[in-house]
């Protein structure tokens, strides 16, 4: 018997964590004859433009399209629902309410909700979005979370333990072998490649990364050639009042300062995807990601699979991704801390290599595509009973 699975997720040109995870599931199970995946793509709300009438019209249109998508499931054969919900109040209203209606009206549907992101960990119990999210969670069959921190939060807030399953992210990279990682780090005679890759949002720490490189460029005793990359597109943040042109001018000025150094150079690549992104990671020796707010960043898994030594923070589930000795996790994002640790890793080939190999082993054991497939195979097996 083939079980239909309606997998519901937001999609847009800028891939979110929910979209990436959903498309990974579909890809992994495309040859599995037990399940028939039926994607239900919810178009993400466009936020560009200042015309209020146009924005309101689009909001109504998008909301109606969401309800129509859920109605199609309501009148389709009974199956499983896999719901990757957004975690803003707007997303919960637009997709959470029709999801609840579907659960109430179709008793035969078993469901699993996947929680990506970490913003809800700071919500207060009196917040409308908190109440709506937990009303939804208590009425779903199973819940997947990315790590122990989120699991602990749900348990403390009244979700029963038997409903919660930890299903970590994975990435689409083919991991380097230990032999190739050692060769990359120990034969780095042409310099050390340092990379930052993310959307350029204030909370991701890209300014601190650039300031750390400026500090290194001003170090007259520096004898190591460092080739740095800033990879990502500038995006407006709720935490920044500066517009994109002003931010771009700031970035270009910092890059100009860095490139005045004889030992350090940096180039800005406004986004890489697919094979180009994988190539950048596999050529990099050190990956720097000093983010303030995170759940379980896929870019860190990409760095682990590609054999990079990682410098990051203790935000979200990041501490659970690494064991002692396979990453440098900062207590704060001060540029002097970042620059000091970049220099430490750049000067010590053996330390850098050991960290990269240990991170690869951790990735293979807990975050590989094979582990990801087995985790979801277990979830769908439970729901299909």
Question: What is the 3-state secondary structure of 66-110?
Answer: HHHHHHHHHCCCCCEEEEECCCCHHHHHHHHHHHHHHHHHCCCCE
128 Cβ partners below 8 Å, 6+ apart? 89
Indicate if 61 and 200 belong to the same structural domain.
no
Indicate if 227 and 335 belong to the same structural domain.
yes
pLDDT of residue 258: 97
Residue ranges making up the domain that contains 243: 178-366
pLDDT of residue 52: 67
Indicate if 146 and 193 belong to the same structural domain.
no
Indicate if 146 and 188 belong to the same structural domain.
no
Q: Residue range 255-284: average pLDDT?
A: 95
Placement of tokens 């009973």 in the chain? 385
Least confident of 38-47, 211-220, 221-230, 239-248: 38-47
pLDDT of residue 46: 59
Compute the distance between CA of residue 20 and CA of residue 190 in angstroms, rounded to an integer.
35
Compute the distance between CA of residue 368 and CA of residue 190 in angstroms, rounded to an integer.
31
Q: If pLDDT is split at 50, 70 and 90, which confidence band does 58 have?
A: confident
**Mapping DSSP to helix (H, G, I), strand (E, B) and coil, where does residue 144 land?**
strand
pLDDT of residue 91: 85
Least confident of 155-169, 233-247, 261-275, 297-311: 233-247
Q: If pLDDT is split at 50, 70 and 90, which confidence band does 118 have?
A: confident
pLDDT exceeds cutoff 90 at 385: no
pLDDT exceeds cutoff 60 at 49: no
Indicate if 379 and 362 belong to the same structural domain.
no
Distance of CA 22 to the CA centre of its chain: 13
Q: If pLDDT is split at 50, 70 and 90, which confidence band does 360 have?
A: very high
Residue pair 78/384 in contact (Cβ under 8 Å)? The answer is: no
Q: What is the pLDDT of residues 11-35, one digit of tens each?
A: 877 777 888 899 999 998 988 889 9
CA distances from 221 to 179, 334, 345 (A): 33, 21, 16
How many domains would you assign to the chain? 2
Indicate if 228 and 315 belong to the same structural domain.
yes
Mean predicted lDDT score pLDDT of the chain: 90
Indicate if 148 and 269 belong to the same structural domain.
no
Q: Residue range 126-144: average pLDDT?
A: 94
Q: What φ, ψ does residue 208 adopt, rounded to 5°?
A: -65, -35
Indicate if 122 and 268 belong to the same structural domain.
no
Which tokens go with 321? 């991704």
Indicate if 362 and 375 belong to the same structural domain.
no
Q: What is the pLDDT of residues 226-235, one digit of tens each?
A: 999 999 999 8
Least confident of 61-70, 194-203, 327-336, 339-348: 61-70
pLDDT of residue 225: 94
Instruction: Classify residue 115 as exposed, middle or buried by CB count within 10 Å of its CB (0-12, 13-18, 19+).
Output: buried
Which tokens go with 356? 């990269």
Indicate if 89 and 195 belong to the same structural domain.
no
**Mapping DSSP to helix (H, G, I), strand (E, B) and coil, where does residue 138 land?**
coil
Mark out the alpha helices in the chain (DSSP H runs). 17-28, 52-74, 89-91, 97-105, 128-137, 148-156, 178-186, 206-217, 244-258, 274-283, 298-305, 318-321, 335-347, 349-366, 369-384
Indicate if 260 and 353 belong to the same structural domain.
yes
User: Higher pLDDT residue, 69 or 269?
Assistant: 269
Q: If pLDDT is split at 50, 70 and 90, which confidence band does 78 have?
A: confident
- Provide the edge-to-edge strand list for the sheet that holds 80-84: 35-43, 3-11, 80-84, 110-114, 142-145, 164-166
Give the residues across from 11 on adjacent strands: 43
Indicate if 40 and 130 belong to the same structural domain.
yes
What is the CATH classification number for the domain harbouring 43?
A: 3.40.50.2000
Q: If pLDDT is split at 50, 70 and 90, which confidence band does 364 have?
A: very high
pLDDT of residue 44: 67
**Mapping DSSP to helix (H, G, I), strand (E, B) and coil, where does residue 236 land?**
coil
């Amino acid at each position: 018997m083939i079980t239909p699975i309606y997998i519901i997720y937001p999609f847009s040109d800028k891939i979110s964590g929910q979209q990436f995870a959903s498309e990974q599931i579909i890809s992994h199970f495309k040859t599995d004859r037990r399940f028939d995946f039926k994607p239900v793509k919810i178009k993400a709300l466009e936020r560009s433009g200042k015309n209020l009438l146009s924005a309101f019209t689009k909001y109504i249109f998008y909301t109606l399209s969401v309800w129509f998508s859920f109605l199609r499931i309501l009148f389709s054969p009974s199956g499983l629902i896999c719901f990757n919900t957004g975690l803003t109040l707007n997303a919960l209203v637009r997709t959470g309410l029709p999801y609840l209606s579907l659960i109430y009206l179709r008793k035969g549907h078993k469901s699993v909700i996947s929680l990506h992101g970490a913003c809800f960990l700071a919500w207060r119990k009196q917040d409308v979005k908190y109440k709506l999210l937990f009303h939804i969670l208590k009425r779903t069959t199973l819940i997947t979370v990315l790590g122990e921190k989120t699991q602990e939060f749900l348990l403390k807030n009244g979700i029963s333990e038997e409903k919660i399953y930890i299903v970590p992210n994975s990435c689409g990279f083919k991991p380097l072998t230990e032999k190739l990682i050692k060769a990359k780090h120990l034969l780095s005679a042409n310099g050390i490649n340092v990379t930052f890759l993310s959307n350029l949002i204030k909370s991701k720490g890209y300014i601190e990364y650039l300031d750390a490189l400026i500090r290194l460029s001003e170090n007259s005793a520096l004898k190591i050639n460092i080739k740095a990359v800033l990879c990502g597109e500038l995006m407006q943040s709720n935490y920044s009042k500066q517009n994109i042109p002003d931010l771009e001018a700031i970035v270009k000025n910092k890059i100009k300062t860095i490139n005045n150094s004889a030992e350090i150079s940096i180039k800005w690549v406004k986004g890489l995807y697919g094979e180009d992104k994988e190539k950048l990671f596999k050529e990099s020796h050190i990956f720097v990601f000093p983010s303030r707010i995170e759940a379980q960043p896929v870019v860190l898994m990409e760095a682990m699979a590609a054999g990079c030594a990682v410098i990051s923070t203790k935000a979200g589930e990041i501490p659970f991704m690494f064991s002692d000795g396979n990453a440098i996790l900062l207590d704060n994002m001060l540029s002097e801390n970042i620059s000091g640790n970049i220099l430490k890793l750049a000067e010590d080939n053996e330390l850098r290599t050991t960290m990269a190999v240990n991170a690869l082993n951790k990735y293979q054991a807990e975050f590989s595509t094979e582990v990801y497939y087995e985790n979801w195979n277990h979830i769908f097996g439970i729901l299909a009973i």
